[in-house]
Structure 1
Amino acid sequence: MNKRMKLGSIAVALPLLIIGFKTETMKVLLSGNIESLQNLSHGSLWLLLFFTLLLMTIQNLFTIIPLILLISINVSLFGFTGGYIWSWLISIAGATVSFLITRYWFQDFFAKYVNSQWESKIEENGFGVVFIGRVMPFMPTSVVNIAAAISSIRFMKFFYATVLGNMIYFFILSSISLGILSIPWENSLYVVSAAFALLVIMVIRKRRKKAGRTPMTPPE
């Protein structure tokens, strides 16, 4: 997409986005009130699914909504298993939207503000950095998405790291939101998650090195 088309699409999308955030519907959604959300959907399951998908996408784009709040809403609405799985799926969708928008529309803009060391780490070990960013979210979700998008990481590596990392981390947050796990356990679980993340990365690196050392069979 050329620069003129990018500027044109941004000029159209930005005012619509500003207007959308000022509507009463969006204010109700961003409030995180479950009863208000149910009233807004008029008991429609499809509207509830759409609203929670919209909120998760916003969270991945701007990180203005606490992730634990969104997961708590989903668990309250759909139960532990349904809430966990739905939160996981829409987080993947939201991260994908954020990644693609940044890479194809705002890559040049965000490249000025993302730390070059963070970007180079992603380029060196894209899967591992994104995976740890998901499991140990020291940085907001949107920052991980943006930093990955402006780097040279391939989309599928970003996608797989997000799928696996969010699957682990969202299970922890879902358990905490439902009271299955207490808050004092949270830090311990972070450590366990980080250890698991490092183990996965070590296994992947070992397999890559082994594959690189495998001699090629000469043609007959």
Structure 2
Amino acid sequence: MMDIVSWENIYELTQSYRALGPIIGVLLPFLEAFLPFLPLFAFVIANATAYGFWVGFLLSWAGTVAGSYAVFLIVRKFGQARFLHFMTRHKRVQKLIHWVEQHGFGPLFLIICFPFTPSALVNVVAGLANIRRYYYLVTLMAGKFVMVFIVTFVGHDIRALFTQPIRTAIVVLLIALLYVGGKVLENRMNKKAEAEFRRIREEQRRGQQ
């Protein structure tokens, strides 16, 4: 009985969400790029539940790509301005900027593919790095396509999570794997970037002697 009531409550929420129109389905993922504390995972699932698999996927994908690219362009234009200069002085950001410039598409694509990695930081770093606008747009579109598709697939049938416990267990396991995988990738990238950064600093120090 609790499962039925819970499902009915969620169904009513999704219908209310859908009544707001598809613009909200694009706007919320767009805003998440500027406000990373917002739950992108939840927005993608809400779109998939309210609008169906493919429409929900396209709304989420368009919104998150547009928002991420907008952040990238803003940082690219104003990154050297005084009010954003504090970012370039941060050691972690400097390390990641160098890492992105050296390794390009591969690391960016992989880290964007995972839904729990800090995509906001990636957008900022890419904006500060020496990456062509078109190049980053293509990377964003490809990485976000994979990420949004995975999350949409996981959450497009919320009712099944209440009626099919095996499917629920698989979904929970998949989410856990995505979370762990994203964190492992993030940590490895940070370690490699730090090692590369130290090597360059050491070479510069030796050259000055």
Q: What is the TM-score of this pair, normalised by structure 1?
A: 0.61
What are the equivalent positions in structure 2 for 1:35-74 lying under 5 Å apart?
A: 37-38=17-18, 41=20, 48-74=21-47
- Which consecutive residues of structure 1, in runs of 5 or more, have no partner in the other structure? 1-32, 42-47, 194-220
1:21 aligned residue: none
Offset at residue 53 of structure 1 (A):
2.2
In structure 2, the gaps of 5 or more residues are 1-12, 158-166, 183-209
Alignment check: 8 A CA contact 1:57 1:98 kept: no
- SS of equivalent to 2:150: helix
- Taking a change above 3 Å as real, the CA distance of residues 91 and 187 of structure 1, as seen in their structure-2 partners, is same
Is the Cα contact below 8 Å between 1:126 and 1:158 reproduced in 2? no
**By how many angstroms is 1:137 displaced?**
4.9
The equivalent position to 2:175 in structure 1, one of 179, 182, 186, is 186
3-state SS in 1 of match to 2:152? helix
Paired residue type of 2:120: S
The question of 1:98 aligning with 2:71 is answered yes
Q: Which has the higher contact order (CA 8 A, sep 6+)?
A: 2
Code of the aligned partner of 2:64 = S
Q: Say how many residue pairs are matched.
A: 154
Provide the residue aligned with 1:78 in structure 2.
Answer: 51
Q: CA deviation at 1:49?
A: 2.4
Conserved? CA contact 2:69–2:140, under 8 Å: no
Q: 1:138 to 1:189 in 2, by over 3 A?
A: closer
Q: Which residue of 2 aligns with 1:122?
A: 100
Distance 2:16 2:71 in 1: 27
**Normalising by the residue count of structure 2, what TM-score does the alignment of the two structures yield?**
0.64
Deviation at residue 62 of structure 1 after TM alignment:
2.1
Which residue of structure 1 aligns with residue 189 of structure 2? Answer: none
Q: Is the 8 A contact 1:56 1:70 kept in 2?
A: yes
Residue number among 61, 72, 80 corresponding to 1:88 in the alignment: 61
**How far has the Cα of 1:126 moved from its partner?**
2.3
Q: Does 1:111 align with 2:88?
A: yes
Percent identical across equivalent pairs?
Answer: 24
Shift of 1:112: 2.7
CA distance in 2, matches of 1:136, 1:50: 25
Preserved CA contact (<8 Å) 1:176 1:183: no
Partner in structure 2 of residue 151 of structure 1: 129
Q: Which has the higher helix share?
A: 2
Distance in 2 between residues matched to 1:170 and 1:64, nearest whole Å: 17
Provide the alpha-carbon RMSD of the alignment: 2.6
